[in-house]
Amino acid sequence: MNLFQQFIYYFQQNGSYVFSQFVRHFLISFYGVLFASIIGIPLGIMIARKKKLAKWIIGFANVIQTVPSLAMLSILMLGLGLGVNTVIVTVFLYSLLPIISNTYTGMRQVDDVMLDVGKGMGMTKFQRLYMIELPLSVSVMMAGIRNALVIAIGIAAIGSFVGAGGLGDIIIRGTNATNGTAIILVGALPTALMAVMVDWLLGIVERKLDPASKK
């Protein structure tokens, strides 16, 4: 059989397994980014108000980003052990920088005149945040989440090295098999497709949320 036939044959024989690993891979990425958003967005809002903290918090997130992902997985594995939790925490850490920095940038680009108008109308700080700052900066925040999720999908692919499963598990099976090129492609192509689809879909959401698109 040629490579294409091997690829199709593996899918036919192991379709349910590939699908389950595809879903597992996406959920690992999603949960890591979700937890990073829960922490990172409030942090980004806070440092937009307290600029002195911005350099330290963004700098710390930058330091995390410089650590190779495989090294980070290995370090966390020592404390968390093998499995999904180690990969989710790794994704969480790598997702902090794009989410925090984009939230900070989005909040800082809100026109002060708009805030003064809101203050003049008697709005509280929370009302100005909810009704002015967040709507005007949400598209920039979404760009950070979009970047984080695409990065997360790549990181989750090596999560199989610590027993987390996902599409990376299929890629490893292919590397260990004789003439396993087709098996590698079965893991690699859905991973690439997932990243492209997530980037495309969140790009649409980002453009929809951009205030300029509503004018």
125-171 residue pLDDT tens: 888 888 888 888 999 999 999 999 999 999 999 988 898 989 999 99
> Which pLDDT belongs to residue 213?
64
> Which pLDDT belongs to residue 186?
92
Q: Identify the band that residue 104 occupies on the pLDDT scale cut at 50, 70 and 90.
A: very high
> Which pLDDT belongs to residue 214?
60
Q: How far apart are CA 215 and CA 210, in angstroms?
A: 10
Domain spans of the chain, in order of start = 15-209
> Which pLDDT belongs to residue 10?
86
165 or 215, greater pLDDT: 165
Q: Identify the band that residue 1 occupies on the pLDDT scale cut at 50, 70 and 90.
A: low
Residues above pLDDT 70, as percent of the chain: 98
Output the average pLDDT for the chain. Answer: 91
> Which pLDDT belongs to residue 127?
87
- 3-state DSSP assignment of residue 215: coil
Amino acid at 146: R
* Cα four-point dihedral sign 182, 184, 186, 188: negative
> Which pLDDT belongs to residue 144?
95
> Which pLDDT belongs to residue 62?
94
Contact 128, 118 (CB under 8 A): yes
> Residue 16 to residues 6, 10, 27, 55, 158: CA-CA distances in angstroms?
17, 11, 17, 47, 21
pLDDT, tens only, 63-88: 999 999 989 999 999 999 888 999 99
pLDDT, tens only, 173-192: 898 887 788 899 999 999 99
32 or 116, greater pLDDT: 32
Q: Identify the band that residue 113 occupies on the pLDDT scale cut at 50, 70 and 90.
A: confident
Contact 53, 47 (CB under 8 A): yes
The arrangement of secondary structure in 15-209, i.e. its CATH architecture, is: Orthogonal Bundle (1.10)
